[in-house]
Amino acid sequence: MRNLIVALLVCSTNLLTAQNTAVSSNEKLVFTAAYNMSGIMTDLAEVTMETQSVKTSKATLLHLKCKATTYSKWDNFFKIRDLYESYVSPTTLKPYMYKRDINEGGYYKFMQYKFKHKSNTVESLKRKRRKDGKTWDENKNISIGPSTIDIITTIYQIRTLNLDGASAGKVFNFTVIFDNEEHKVSLIYKGKETISTAVGRKSCHKLAIAAQTEVIQGSNNNLLWLTADANKIPVYAKFKIPVGNGELKIKSASGLLN
Amino acid sequence: MKVLFRILGLIAAVLAVVLSVLPLSNLAFIPAIAALVFGLIAFLMAKQQQEPRKSIQLIFILTIIALSLATYKSIFNESEVGNTEELEKTEQKSEEEAIEELEELDLDDIDIE
């Protein structure tokens, strides 16, 4: 499931200077994640993407939150309760803090990155659970590129891309930090397509995701459809990972900016 | 040959029943269809040779049970998210901790109020 989520989420951008005209502070998108079992797409989990404003004494940040929860019928087999969070600038979607708390079938892992943009470093904390139930921490300082961002910010930054004037084949490059490593990810614009979704029939921008990682396979197997409107919400995604393939379909969308 | 089809039919029918009671009930359709095909072949063979058809009847009964259960579950069982109480607590705790940690972070370069 971790691979599945990574595959779905690894699609990033380096447009740190891009202005956010697509993401509001009270948005909620709900998706159904399905996995191909012997040729039959089976609904496995619900994925929720939420945003909200968070105030500190110095600034107001946008809290981006992605949750993955298996449906109750699967909980006895393989229970997943994953939480991915990022705290970003509401105007540029520049990340300041990233958190990943995953609980998948008894496997627990926590990752936290604090972005130090002035020094281009990330203060990383990794927490894992031993078999005896005790946890251990690993702290690291990692040098990153000036445009490196986390995976959650990436998903939201894709929505700030100017796709209206894009021609098929145009490539958008991104650098994503995941598991303390930087990964180059490319989004290839494939053109427009109209598809039927739970939120209506939508004209969409179709993008292919390619990355130099083991998780994402091929350059045309991982596809993402964003609505071709000002919100550019992801409505459908297809993914192929080493352990199979699946899809992500939108179930509901609320609190949209435009 | 006829014994082979009866055995294959029975195995497929039992597999279909087992799958139909599990959350993987959608997968039960595959062995159920296989069981129907094997059962039909075995039935036609038994009819030609006028042999007892008790085991074939069993294949069909099991297959019908599996198909009924799988169909019922696919129509009426809606996927619902399980207990998320723990996750909600994690979310709340995480946010509280994050705000504290964000206070310590250098947000001077932030482009907002």
Instruction: Indicate the number of domains in chain B.
Output: 1
Q: A37: which chain B residues are within 8 Å (Cβ-Cβ)? A: 24, 26-27
A48 neighbors A5 (Cβ within 8 angstroms): no
Q: What is the pLDDT of residue A176?
A: 93
Q: What is the pLDDT of residue B113?
A: 42
Q: What is the CA radius of gyration of chain A?
A: 18
Q: Give, as one character, the DSSP assignment of residue B69.
A: H
A247 neighbors A39 (Cβ within 8 angstroms): no
Cα–Cα distance for residue pair A56/A11, rounded to 1 Å = 29
What stretches in chain B show pLDDT beneath 50?
112-113
Name the fold adopted by A2-254. Answer: YmcC-like fold (2.40.360)
DSSP helix, strand, coil percent of chain B (3-state; round to 5): 75, 0, 20
Greatest alpha-carbon pair distance for chain A in Å reads 55
Write out the residue range of the structural domain in which residue B46 sits: 2-75
- Residue B89 resides in a domain: no
Q: Pick the closest to residue A12 from A177, A189, A203, A221 (CA basis).
A: A177
Q: Do A118 and B112 touch (CB under 8 A)?
A: no
Q: A46: which chain B residues are within 8 Å (Cβ-Cβ)? A: 79, 81
A123 neighbors A113 (Cβ within 8 angstroms): yes
User: Which residues of chain B have a Cβ shorter than 8 Å from any chain A Cβ?
Assistant: 23-24, 26-27, 29-30, 77, 79-84, 86-87, 90-91, 94-95, 98-99, 101-103, 105-113
Among the partner residues A40, A81, A118, nearest to B86 by beta-carbon distance? A81
- Residue B65 resides in a domain: yes
Q: Looking at this protein, which amino acid is placed at residue A106? A: G
Q: Which of helix, strand or coil describes residue B33?
A: helix
Q: Looking at this protein, which amino acid is placed at residue B76? A: F
Q: Give, as one character, the DSSP assignment of residue B24.
A: T
Structure tokens belonging to residue A10 = 């690894």
Cα–Cα distance for residue pair A176/A6, rounded to 1 Å = 11
Pairing assessment for the beta strands A149-150 and A171-178 based on DSSP bridges? parallel
Q: What is the CA radius of gyration of chain B?
A: 28
Q: What is the pLDDT of residue A13?
A: 40
Q: Do B91 and A43 touch (CB under 8 A)?
A: no
B9 neighbors B16 (Cβ within 8 angstroms): no
- Residue B41 resides in a domain: yes
A172: Cβ–Cβ under 8 A, 6 or more apart, which residues? A13, A15, A158, A161, A186, A187, A188, A189
A30 neighbors A48 (Cβ within 8 angstroms): yes
Cα–Cα distance for residue pair B97/A101, rounded to 1 Å = 13
Q: What is the pLDDT of residue B83?
A: 84
- Residue B33 resides in a domain: yes
Q: Does A99 touch chain B (CB under 8 A)?
A: yes
CA dihedral A189, A194, A197, A200 (to 10 degrees): 130
B43 neighbors B93 (Cβ within 8 angstroms): no
At A5, give phi and psi (nearest 5°).
Answer: -65, -40
- Residue B15 resides in a domain: yes
pLDDT tens per residue across all 258 residues of chain A: 555 554 544 443 444 446 788 888 899 999 999 998 878 888 899 999 999 999 888 889 999 999 999 998 888 888 999 999 999 999 999 999 999 999 998 889 999 999 998 899 999 999 998 888 888 899 999 999 999 999 999 999 999 999 988 899 999 999 999 999 999 999 999 999 999 999 999 999 999 998 877 666 666 789 999 999 999 999 999 998 877 889 999 999 999 988
Opening angle at CA B35, ends B75 and B53, nearest 5: 125
ipTM tops the 0.85 cut = no
Interface of A with B in 63-82 (CB under 8 A): 63, 65, 67, 69-75, 77, 79, 81
Residue B112: HSE in the Cβ half-sphere, 13 Å Cα cutoff? 19
Q: Give, as one character, the DSSP assignment of residue B91.
A: H
Pairing assessment for the beta strands A223-227 and A234-241 based on DSSP bridges? antiparallel
Q: What is the pLDDT of residue A18?
A: 62
